[in-house]
Homo-oligomer: A and B are copies of this chain.
């Protein structure tokens, strides 16, 4: 499953703090951060639904959205990807670095530690082939 894009992550973080929210609520909350037109927010919500990131429940003409992605595994995936891609770190990241994060509490921190360890060990085996002489693969 692909990673959420930056704006999508913003929406997910919001939903992780307040579960069912209507499109308008989400839009208003994000107004301070994303300055989007209402349609942009809804379109993004729609696409997130297509990707299976969130679920949409229509109720009395209003759509309520809920996350389908678990918070810590998602954040852990982001962390691991970052560590590997940017710094080529293979060991799990020390959770200490997230200590001051306002969106992760003690319990979640414990989960995070475990998740990071898991993601790091079975090392992503990225096998590739293809090796032409000249043009194109």
Interface residues of A (CB under 8 A from B): 6, 9, 13, 28, 31-40, 75, 78-79, 82-83, 85-91, 93-94, 96-98, 100-104, 126, 128-132, 134-137
Contact = CB atoms under 8 A, between A and B. Distances in A.
A131 B37 CA distance: 9
Copies assembled? 2
B37 A136 contact: yes
B131 A31 contact: yes
B96 A33 contact: no
B38 A134 contact: yes
Contacts of A39: 135-136
Contacts of A79: 82, 86-87
